[in-house]
Amino acid sequence: MLHTLLQRFLSSSVFVSSPTQISYFSSIRFDPDRFPMAANTISLSISSSSPKTLHSLQTPRGGLIPPPTSISFPKSLSLSSTAISRSRVRAGPSQLINEPANAMTSSPIPTIVEVDLGNRSYPIYIGAGLLDQSHLLQRHVHGKKVLVVTNERVAPLYLDKTVHALTFGNPNLTVESVILPDGEKYKDMDTLMKVFDKAIESRLDRRSTFVALGGGVIGDMCGYAAASYLRGVNFIQIPTTVMSQVDSSVGGKTGINHRLGKNLIGAFYQPQCVLVDTDTLNTLPDREMASGLAEVIKYGLIRDADFFEWQEQNIEALLARDPAALAYAIKRSCENKADVVSQDEKESGLRATLNLGHTFGHAIETGFGYGEWLHGEAVAAGTVMAVDMSYRLGWIDDSIVERVNNILKRAKLPTTPPESMTVSMFKSIMAVDKKVADGLLRLILLKGPLGNCVFTGDYDREALDATLRAFSKS
């Protein structure tokens, strides 16, 4: 089988630039579950009477041989590979190399970031056109029935494509769908019941799979429905917004809002996979594009200074939807999120740091009205408030304050809360935040050089009061 595979690979037509000697295949990958006969290492030589360009090759059983971003070679080429296996690497900040932003745009093969949770680990597939690669979804579907949960905005754009990806060459699969109203204000129990109604009417059993097709609201609601239906069924995330692709679809936080607070009802429940098709961002409104960048900026501030500096250089390219810049930002954000989740799945400490600006931001969303401001807009204003408080405590210098304000303004995000927010509104809403423990409000604040933060309740309450007074009415 391997011999036949390589023959097919060599018959690919290929584009080359100038001749040069290269060694490749360091990123060759076979899914060991689908291609167990692959050897651990291979070594081969290729001769050719004319230059060829390497195309990606999908094996009959799901293994993938990815091409390099760009290659060139002469009539004789040596190729070697080691460790032909599924890579499962925990990507911490020290492993996030400063690679060029165009590293993924020319290849149809997805970049894969693994969320390492032992026997509940799962891949995040990132790339353009992934909804056209049916095998990526189908390998993670359990049972013969699927329920796609989406909303009124996304359904006309991507529901048919998703159903086709699930059923292509798979006639025994039945796909049902439920289309929910769009918006944060519908992230509630009444709307959630529509998912359960459809699942029960369709007689979905415990072998069924739920698929979340949409942004963060859909992902959170579908995940919570999957966690609750028959006490837990398989589910898959297909995020279609920047916000959901870089943050909410990864890590298993699911839930709904209560009128007294955001995301107060929910569960930790991990998906089988996350499929990030960056082409879905082509239809994303500009306001939602900017909103998602608030979460991207967050990763740089709390743990990845190099990434923040890259953002400062590329924020206009991200707003302009440059494919290379977006692909790199999504990948690096997912690597940061995956590393944190793998170490602290249920937010006992480290994972809470991902909520920089969220305590203030959630108060804005709750007090101003769900959906009036987008989540990222509220988080952006909340981040400025958290940075201001960090400075008042003497934990950061004024250069970080200035850089945070500057990049958020360049990203077209608000840096102050709505005028209607008062100090008393902030305090009453923050008192029921999920991070309150034994009556003590804990906050994520920056401390030290850029890229460092703390999750703590040990701070001067006067600094908090001063920040609230500076950004809202008394």
Active-site annotation holds for 295: yes
Q: Which of 135, 140, 145, 253 is catalytic?
A: 253
Query: Any catalytic annotation for residue 164?
Result: no
Among residues 262, 362, 434, 435, the one annotated as catalytic is 362
Is there a catalytic annotation at residue 258?
A: no
Tell me whether residue 3 is one of the annotated catalytic residues. Answer: no
Tokens for 186, please give them: 């519908």
Both tokens of residue 160?
């048919």
Choosing from 375, 392, 434, 435, which is the catalytic residue? 375
Left if phi > 0, otherwise alpha if psi is -120 to 50, otherwise beta: which for 408? alpha
How many CA atoms, within 13 angstroms, populate the side-chain half-sphere of residue 178?
23
Choice among 288, 347, 365, 377 that is catalytic:
347
Q: Quick check: is 139 catalytic?
A: no
Catalytic (active site) residue 355: yes
336 is an active site residue:
no
How far apart, in whole angstroms, are the C-alpha atoms of residue 303 and residue 296? 12
Catalytic residue among 29, 262, 303, 337: 337
7 token code pair: 């023959």
Let me know the angle formed at the C-alpha of 246 by 244 and 252, rounded to the nearest 5 degrees: 65
**Active site residue: 140, 153, 351, 434, which one?**
351
Assess whether 114 carries a catalytic annotation: no
Four-residue CA torsion sign, 405, 362, 436, 218: negative
Residue with tokens 């002469």: 74
Q: 375 an active-site residue?
A: yes
Q: Spot the catalytic one: 153, 331, 332, 358.
A: 358
Whether 98 is catalytic: no
Catalytic residue numbers read 231, 253, 295, 337, 347, 351, 355, 358, 362, 375
